[in-house]
């Protein structure tokens, strides 16, 4: 490995982003359940209390409505809080603060208040955490003007996008995934940023465009690799930012491939795949040689059973089936 590179887990990439931004800007603070004394539920904030002290790494009560509001108030008065939800499922307890205050304060105050806050934590299903702990919240929160929604799939993007999110003057919802915290990648040791609102062509191809983000990128790339063995060249796009959506990168690809499949871990009805599919239909109608397909979580609460859980979530087999059907 070159000396200017490091191979680290995604959780460490997030930790480095937090540490670097706390070093750069003393107004950056971290708050949430177990972020300090316990080093974070998923060890993302490990060691930060020892380094920065209890005034900048703050354990909160189990009260999402309370500490979400506390963070918003701090952001309105000059701080840059990073608020961790132990799970985005728990954000529903405090979502009135996000919806009614974080998303709307700049507008309602006529521009007098900015809310530079980042809400972050694991989103979507983990392993056997069942129906109350497996929600994908991106379509829910993306429906609201005033919020930026980010969902990275690699350690590189996680670090670069979190740093950009902390520097942004708007409320940002940063969606991670519990099953990806141990994902390793070589990333630069030197500082870097990843721009918000820019999708990435991860794999080039000419036969079909496959769109995904977050954990589903692994499914997309595995399906593309499998089909490459059959001579089908899939172009894979990682959205990275859900809102604002970089539809132009997707459109450019679909104009080239003439076919598209969208993968989403969340449910199909009124989901991100539905939005992406509609915009492709709007701007690429004359280029499409087949209907747009989507592979989403089945329309049921998440089961606890391992077997049923696998059947509920998008799988490589389901994606490959959708691609073959679209190719025909």
Summarize pLDDT for 235-285 with one digit per residue, the tens: 999 999 999 999 999 999 999 999 999 999 999 999 999 999 999 999 999
What pLDDT does residue 266 have?
A: 95
64 part of the active site: yes
The number of C-alpha atoms within 13 Å of 276 and in the hemisphere containing its C-beta is 37
How confident is the model at residue 129, as a pLDDT? Answer: 87
| Domain residue spans of the chain | 5-188, 200-327
| pLDDT of res. 157 | 98
Separation CA 169–CA 116 (nearest Å): 4
- CATH number for the domain whose boundaries are 200-327: 3.40.50.920
Tokens standing for residue 250: 């997707």
Asked if CATH classification 2.60.120.10 holds for the domain at 5-188, the reply, yes or no, is: no
Q: Which is catalytic among the residues 34, 133, 255, 279?
A: 133
Q: How far is CA 282 from CA 75, 259, 260, in A?
A: 38, 14, 13
| pLDDT reported for residue 130 | 87
Instruction: Compute CA 100 distance to the chain's CA centroid, rounded to the nearest angstrom.
Output: 22
State residue 72's pLDDT score.
98
Please identify which of the residues 12, 21, 33, 64 carries the catalytic annotation. 64
Q: In what order do the strands lie in the sheet with 28-32?
A: 57-59, 28-32, 80-84, 118-122, 172-176, 148-150, 241-243
Angle, helices 247-257 vs 272-284, to 10°: value is: 60
133 is catalytic: yes
Collect all residues with Cβ–Cβ distance below 8 Å to 271 and sequence separation of at least 6: 139, 264, 294, 296
Q: How far apart are CA 145 and CA 52, in angstroms?
A: 34
pLDDT, one tens digit per residue, over 261-270 is: 999 999 999 9
Instruction: Give, for 27, the enclosing helix (H) or strand (E).
Output: none
Residues near 154 by beta carbon (within 8 Å), at least 6 away in sequence: 10, 183, 185, 217
Cα 63 to Cα 235: distance, rounded to the nearest angstrom:
44
The reply to whether 200-327 shares the fold of 5-188 is: yes
Phi-psi group of 25: left, alpha or beta (phi > 0 → left; psi -120 to 50 → alpha; rest → beta): beta
| pTM for this entry | 0.96
pLDDT in tens, the chain (328 residues): 888 999 999 999 999 999 999 999 999 999 999 999 999 999 999 999 999 999 999 999 999 999 999 999 999 999 999 999 999 999 999 999 999 999 999 999 999 999 999 999 999 999 888 888 889 999 999 999 999 999 999 999 999 999 999 999 999 999 999 999 999 999 999 999 999 999 999 999 999 999 999 999 999 999 999 999 999 999 999 999 999 999 999 999 999 999 999 999 999 999 999 999 999 999 999 999 999 999 999 999 999 999 999 999 999 999 999 999 999 8
């Amino acid at each position: 490995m070159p000396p200017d590179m490091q191979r680290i887990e995604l959780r460490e990439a997030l930790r480095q982003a937090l540490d670097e931004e706390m070093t750069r800007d003393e107004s950056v603070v971290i708050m949430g359940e177990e972020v300090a004394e316990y080093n974070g539920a998923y060890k993302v904030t490990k060691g930060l209390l020892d380094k920065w002290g209890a005034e900048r790494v703050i354990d909160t009560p189990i009260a999402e409505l309370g500490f979400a509001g506390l963070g918003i108030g701090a952001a309105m008065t000059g701080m840059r809080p990073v608020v961790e939800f132990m799970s985005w499922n728990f954000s529903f307890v405090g979502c009135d603060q996000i919806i009614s205050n974080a998303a709307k304060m700049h507008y309602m105050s006529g521009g007098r208040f900015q809310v530079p806050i980042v809400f972050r934590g694991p989103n979507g299903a983990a392993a056997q955490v069942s129906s109350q702990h497996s929600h994908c919240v991106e379509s829910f929160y993306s429906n609201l003007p005033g919020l930026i929604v980010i969902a990275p799939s690699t350690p590189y993007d996680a670090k670069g996008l979190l740093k950009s999110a902390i520097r942004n003057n708007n409320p940002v919802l940063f969606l991670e995934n519990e099953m990806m915290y141990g994902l390793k990648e070589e990333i630069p040791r030197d500082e870097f940023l990843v721009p918000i609102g820019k999708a990435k062509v991860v794999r080039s191809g000419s036969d079909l465009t496959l769109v995904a983000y977050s954990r589903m990128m692994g499914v997309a790339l595995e399906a593309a690799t499998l089909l490459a063995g059959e001579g089908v060249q899939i172009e894979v796009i990682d959205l990275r930012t859900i809102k604002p959506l970089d539809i132009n990168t997707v459109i450019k690809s679909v104009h080239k491939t003439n076919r598209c499949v969208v993968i989403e871990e969340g449910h199909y009805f009124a989901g991100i795949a539905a939005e992406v599919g509609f915009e492709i239909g709007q701007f690429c109608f004359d280029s499409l040689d087949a209907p747009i397909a989507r592979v989403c979580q089945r329309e049921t609460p998440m089961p606890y059973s391992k077997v049923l859980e696998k059947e509920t979530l998008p799988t490589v087999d389901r994606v490959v089936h959708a691609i073959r059907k679209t190719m025909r």
